[in-house]
């Protein structure tokens, strides 16, 4: 399985109400230094909504990039609707970070 396919497979596991970081996905996929590549895969995600790219955020909880209509505003709205907790403009990772079991 390619790195790209592994990234999409991992991202598909993130449940509603939780998020993962680009770096977290990169580490789980086997290349801890590939967070930017994960971001590019999310930008070009051909499997949405089965692969919920809106549930991937920056390492500090900041919402970065969302290429679907509505951009970041839509991404935040979707995450709030799913139960993700925020502290101001950032996801509260202490509560909403996904941990693959």
pLDDT tens profile 52-61 = 999 999 999 9
Task: Report, in angstroms and rounded to the nearest whole number, the Rg of the chain calculated over CA atoms.
Answer: 12
Round to whole Å and give the CA distance between 32 and 71.
27
Q: Which residues are catalytic?
A: 53
Strands (E) located in the chain: 20-21, 56-57, 86-87, 90-91
* CATH number for the domain that contains residue 73: 1.10.10.10
Contacts of 33 (CB under 8 A, 6+ apart): 26
Residue 31 located in a structural domain: yes
Report pTM. 0.95
Q: How many CB atoms lie within 10 A of CB 61?
A: 21
Condensed to tens digits (0 to 9), the pLDDT of residues 6-49 reads 999 999 999 999 999 999 999 999 999 999 999 999 999 999 99
Whether the predicted pLDDT of 92 surpasses 90: yes
Domain count along the chain: 1
């Amino acid at each position: 399985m390619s790195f790209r396919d592994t990234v999409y497979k991992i991202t598909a596991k993130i449940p509603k109400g939780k998020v993962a970081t680009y770096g977290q996905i990169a580490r789980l996929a086997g290349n801890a230094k590939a967070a930017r590549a994960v971001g590019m895969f999310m930008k070009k995600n051909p499997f949405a909504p089965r692969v919920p790219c809106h549930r991937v955020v920056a390492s500090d909880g900041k919402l970065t990039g969302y290429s679907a209509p509505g951009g970041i505003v839509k991404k935040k709205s979707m995450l709030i609707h799913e139960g993700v907790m925020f502290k101001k403009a950032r996801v509260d990772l202490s509560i909403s970070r996904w941990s693959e079991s």
